[in-house]
Structure 1
Amino acid sequence: MTATRKTALVIAPGRGTYGKGELGSIARLHGARFADRIANFDAQRRDRGQATVSELDGADRFSVGVHMRGDVAAPLIYTATALDWLSIDRDRYDVVAVAGNSMGWYSALALGGAVSVEDGFRISNAMGLNSQTHGPGGQILLQVVDEDWRPVPGLRATLFDLVASIAARPGHALALSIDLAGMLVLAGNEEGLAALLAEAPPTPGRDPLRLAGHGPFHTPLMFGSSDKARAELPASLFGTPAIPLVDGRGHIWRRFASDPAAMWDYTFGHQILAPYDFALSVQVAVKEFAPDVVILPGPGDTLGGAIAQSLIGIEWQGIAGKADFMARQAADPILLSMGRAEQRALVIA
């Protein structure tokens, strides 16, 4: 390793990251260099009678009703993430670990070499469809940090007490879906969500937000998605990772010490049906592998705040609030978001 080569943790983004601003970005950023990869992804979609990635990315306008749907969002996000991953300059960065957020776990499997890039697309594309197979319900996003990204005292505990109370009522389902450090994603059925919106205490920054087009991900209401995944996506797709992977429990899947069958079981079992602790995955990864930088592939950069808030949660390298993080970013960036042109230039070959 050269003296100038930095170690990096790469974190794959999940749903909600390919938006209006990202329309056309796959062709613009990757069309010339990765035409063969895109053609493979397009062929996989075409074989299933689906609109291709190229057609969806090349649409005249962004449609919330189309582009935010699971079976469209997942392959677009995976494609952007995987091709950004292949663009990272390995002479400048030694990737020491990979993590992901929610759907980004499927991308992380391919980035870490546990599945091939092509099979990663197959998994993400299938799960985009499967994610629509669930009981009625959805997700609500709530902020639990103040304007300096520090935890509001007692708010998290108050919300979890309320969730437990609502979930205990007949006909109500409500649970933690994703822990994003500064934000909590709670999921449940319509009765549970309605009760949460009616009874949630005041939260800073924003009102509780119902996430459009999202099911009750990472809860037992997703049993149909889990069953379909196990039936359609065999364990033979999985191998041992080439780079350590940190999952939504903070568990590390290490090279030479990971059972592919167990990884398959986690991916289509626990990962679908139980909470995804994104904050913990980031915190475990930086403490275990001590990367010089964190690289966030596209699409977009909306996960950047959650990554920063995860680092603030453990005061990583003395970063104890938003002001500290912004000062560090200005002086010696610790987070490189490939969705931002100036930071992308620091990452790509």
Structure 2
Amino acid sequence: MTRERIVVVCPGRGTYNAPELGYLARHHGGSEWLARFDALRAVGGKPALTALDGAAKFDPGLHLRGDVAAPLIHACAYLDFLAIDQDRFEIVAVTGNSMGWYTALACAGAVSGEHGFAIADAMGVNSQGHEPGGQAVLVLAGEDWTVDPALERAVHAAMARHGVLPSIRLGGMLVVAGAEAALDALEADLPPLARAPLRLAGNGPFHTPLMQQSADAARAQLPVDWFARPQVPLIDGRGQVWRRFETDPAQLWDYTFGHQILQPYDFTAAIRVALREFAPDRVVLLGPGETLGGAIAQVVIATKWLDISSRNDFTARQGEDPYLIGMGRPVQREIVIR
């Protein structure tokens, strides 16, 4: 039987919210890997993921905190990855968004499962060490999920006026970062957008030089000898592909705890490269949540992949035979799991 070719996408922060509470119990209860992750956290005196996931109520003050959200999201995504039926699906490349890069490292085999979790867990703590500042999401895409280049230029001009930096390029959205006062000034100076800017609660100025403290902590704490050559191609936050026989593990470590933390993360480029370089039969977005689905769809539309050039085209294709499979959606999940 010919296997379908898939690119796997690993989600980042902001994907474990109230609807996702209990995700690990629902989909991965009794998992040996989940027990290993809880054991690793117990060594550090941290609460078990099973307890956090099994809480009676979602607590934004707890569950959205970096040192809790990062390991929860990583565990959900990595265990979803292991649930993919690889007898039917050939994983031709792996990528991720922002914190999802750490999960992508483990999925691609560039680090072990234990080390991947340790990295995500540690970076959840390290990400809280930064200069003052935060992030905001700007929706540039209109109702048709396409972006007006003139609007994009006007937004970048306003950012330049107030010293606000690009953080994540996310399809038809742009995540920006900077000091709180700079973000306030930008929001007052923006051209009309489809939606009001959304300030991300609890997030620092990720993917900017303001995260130097976090990068320094990662380099001191997370050793280069944890890294190896990926077993499948790995697409980073610049759109660069790390291939098995071309990768220097030391350079991968350096990118992970340098550029990846301190420079903008171009998820748009990563997905565009995934489509053009690997021509997958489907794209599989790991859980929890499905907030990246719109961004992936917008890249598909902008690229005119499979002649999909509008929101209506994409919606019609999804209704017939989903090209984008979100494992956070129960019906779509069933398509790819063992």
Normalized against structure 2, the TM-score is what? 0.99
Aligned: 1:27 with 2:17: no
CA RMSD after TM alignment: 0.8
Name 1:170's counterpart in structure 2.
none
* CA–CA separation in structure 2 for the residues paired with 1:326 and 1:70: 34
Q: Secondary structure at the match of 2:337?
A: coil
Q: Secondary structure at the match of 1:139?
A: strand
Name 1:84's counterpart in structure 2.
80
Name 2:249's counterpart in structure 1.
260
Q: What letter matches 1:304 in structure 2?
A: G
* CA–CA separation in structure 2 for the residues paired with 1:22 and 1:280: 28
* CA–CA separation in structure 1 for the residues paired with 2:43 and 2:107: 24
Name 2:98's counterpart in structure 1.
102
* CA–CA separation in structure 2 for the residues paired with 1:341 and 1:281: 26
Q: What do the CA deviations read for 1:270-295 (whole angstroms, capped 9, x no partner)?
A: 00000000001000111000000000
Name 2:120's counterpart in structure 1.
124
Name 2:166's counterpart in structure 1.
176
2:68 to 56, 59, 72: 72
Q: What letter matches 1:103 in structure 2?
A: M
* CA–CA separation in structure 1 for the residues paired with 2:86 and 2:241: 22
Q: Secondary structure at the match of 1:154?
A: helix
* CA–CA separation in structure 2 for the residues paired with 1:192 and 1:226: 23
Q: Secondary structure at the match of 1:336?
A: strand
1:153 to partner: Cα distance: 4.0
Q: What letter matches 1:158 in structure 2?
A: A
Q: What letter matches 1:183 in structure 2?
A: M
* CA–CA separation in structure 1 for the residues paired with 2:332 and 2:150: 36
Name 2:48's counterpart in structure 1.
52
Q: Secondary structure at the match of 2:45?
A: coil
Q: What letter matches 1:195 in structure 2?
A: A
Q: What letter matches 1:187 in structure 2?
A: A
Name 1:9's counterpart in structure 2.
7
Name 1:171's counterpart in structure 2.
none
* CA–CA separation in structure 1 for the residues paired with 2:49 and 2:245: 34
Larger CA deviation: 308-317 vs 222-231 = 308-317
1:1-349 matched pairs, under 5 angstroms: 2-3=1-2, 5-32=3-30, 34=31, 36-167=32-163, 174-204=164-194, 206-349=195-338
* CA–CA separation in structure 1 for the residues paired with 2:158 and 2:57: 41
* CA–CA separation in structure 1 for the residues paired with 2:237 and 2:76: 21
* CA–CA separation in structure 1 for the residues paired with 2:155 and 2:250: 36
1:333 to partner: Cα distance: 1.1
1:152 to partner: Cα distance: 2.5
Normalized against structure 1, the TM-score is what? 0.96
- Which structure 1 segments of 5+ residues have no match? 168-173
- Number of matched residues? 338
Q: What letter matches 1:23 in structure 2?
A: L
Q: What letter matches 2:276 in structure 1?
A: K
Q: What do the CA deviations read for 1:172-231 (whole angstroms, capped 9, x no partner)?
A: xx2000000110000001221111111111101x10010011000000000000000000
Q: Secondary structure at the match of 2:335?
A: coil
* CA–CA separation in structure 1 for the residues paired with 2:54 and 2:282: 33
* CA–CA separation in structure 2 for the residues paired with 1:221 and 1:161: 21
Q: What letter matches 1:26 in structure 2?
A: L
Q: What do the CA deviations read for 1:141-192 (whole angstroms, capped 9, x no partner)?
A: 011111110112411111111111212xxxxxx2000000110000001221
Q: Secondary structure at the match of 2:8?
A: strand
1:310 to partner: Cα distance: 1.0
* CA–CA separation in structure 2 for the residues paired with 1:317 and 1:70: 38
Larger CA deviation: 153-162 vs 181-190 = 153-162
Identity over the aligned pairs, expressed in percent?
56
* CA–CA separation in structure 1 for the residues paired with 2:171 and 2:153: 13
1:330 to partner: Cα distance: 0.9
- Which structure 2 segments of 5+ residues have no match? none
